Amino acid sequence: MSSTPGNVGYLDDSRFASLLCLLFLPSVLSSSPRRQWILQRIPVVLPQQTEARPTPQFVNEARLDVASPCDPECHKKAPRPSYWDLRSLLAYETLDSSGQLTETAIGIYGYNPYSNTSPAYSSGSSGKAERSHVRRKRQIFGHDGRFSIAGQNFLLKYPFSVAVKLSTGCSGTLVGDRHVLTAAHCVHDGKNYVKGAQKLRVGFLKPKQRDGGPDQYSPPANDKMKFQWIRAKRTHVPKGWIKGNANDIGMDYDYALLELKKPHKRRHMKLGVSPPAQRLPGRRVHFSGFDNDRAGQLVYRFCRAGEETSDLLYQHCDAQPGASGSGVYARMWDGRRRRWERKVIGVFSGHQWVENKGTSQEFNVAVRITPLKYAQICYWIKGNFVDCREG
């Protein structure tokens, strides 16, 4: 990694190759057993009755950060949702680009509530959540470990090429030929759809051609980068977010899926059910997004996963507003296809700052893709449950 003033890390050709070896080939450099994706039978989440809803107002600006008074211990103590609770939480609204809004009830089949138990709760490297008496919100934990991806060979290279920007200011991840996974709060504030949600656009970062030949590895400048935009055709948001409004329940459902009006013609990343953190190679998670303190740049980061609940993953990945909605992914061995495979296992929700008995706890939080969420999101993408039975 090299640095420039302002503590901005850029990747050149040789350093990029070294980083790929260190981060994406952990089993080659370690004597530990190769971590594998373990496929499991996925329940079925099917739409049932659909009803029209009043046209949204689209008044408030999207908030690029969400807050919750519920820390990991609070989430762990929450009662397990019943079957009927889950049907209510996984019901969803669909916003069409015409402004039409519908609400769809769902049915759940083949679901065993005891197979979706919470993981063994574990702490980060310090053994405890980071605490501080400082009242200033902090999204960079210690040294800024983010990398700005520079040069078209890197920006257009998988997995960085799956990261996209939303016109509301958030990030997203390509998970289908015309589908983008993002955070629910990027399009809905918990009470209503935000300004710009009806005419939502998705931006793909593309370098401009430079006079005198391309310099592929120089740091990107704002006047040398541009976004190609595609309009969203419809947006799906689970009722768990709308009913919860970012409280102890809503945080678990801070995800949304966008369907574009036309195919994006880029490689997308597959969905995967989030494994327990201890099963991740090096316990690492990765994600790339468009942090708003680095305008026009794609920012990549990785870090060690910390505490987790059945629905949330806590970590201290450095991030700034604008990165929320990014797809959190892991890379493990696919034994069936005999190859390494990256899969999206969560959605980066944002920074959490919780006051508890006079002390503050700070986390960055991602919503985990559980078997039920996988079934729902996959159905939104595929349009049938047959292609969504293994994840």
pLDDT for 367: 94
Choosing from 185, 286, 316, 351, the catalytic residue is 185
Average model confidence (pLDDT) across the chain: 80
Region 354-367: what's the mean pLDDT? 74
Domains, the chain, ordered by start:
2-388 (2.40.10.10)
Active-site residue, 291 included: no
pLDDT for 79: 82
pLDDT for 7: 41
Choosing from 12, 144, 248, 334, the catalytic residue is 248
pLDDT for 194: 95
pLDDT for 125: 33
**pTM of the predicted model as reported, rounded to 2 decimal places:** 0.82
pLDDT for 364: 84
- Of 102-106, 161-165, 234-238, 386-390, the range with the lowest mean pLDDT is 386-390
Pick the more confident residue, 69 or 43.
43
Region 87-94: what's the mean pLDDT? 96
pLDDT for 34: 75
Radius of gyration (C-alpha) of the chain in whole angstroms: 20
Residue 216 pLDDT level (bands cut at 50, 70, 90): very low
**pLDDT single digits (tens) 219-228:** 444 445 688 9
Residue 85 has pLDDT above 70, yes or no: yes
pLDDT for 292: 87
**pLDDT single digits (tens) 311-332:** 999 888 888 889 999 999 999 9
Residue 187 has pLDDT above 90, yes or no: yes
Active-site residue, 316 included: no
Residue 8 has pLDDT above 80, yes or no: no
pLDDT for 307: 86
Residue 69 has pLDDT above 50, yes or no: yes
Residue 15 has pLDDT above 70, yes or no: no
Region 354-379: what's the mean pLDDT? 84
**pLDDT single digits (tens) 328-339:** 999 999 888 888
pLDDT for 17: 52
Region 74-90: what's the mean pLDDT? 88
Residue 218 pLDDT level (bands cut at 50, 70, 90): very low
Choosing from 324, 326, 349, 351, the catalytic residue is 324
Region 18-39: what's the mean pLDDT? 57
pLDDT for 33: 62
Region 78-89: what's the mean pLDDT? 90
- Of 18-22, 29-33, 341-345, 347-351, the range with the lowest mean pLDDT is 29-33
**pLDDT single digits (tens) 262-282:** 999 999 999 999 999 999 988
pLDDT for 196: 95
Active-site residue, 189 included: no
Region 107-113: what's the mean pLDDT? 88
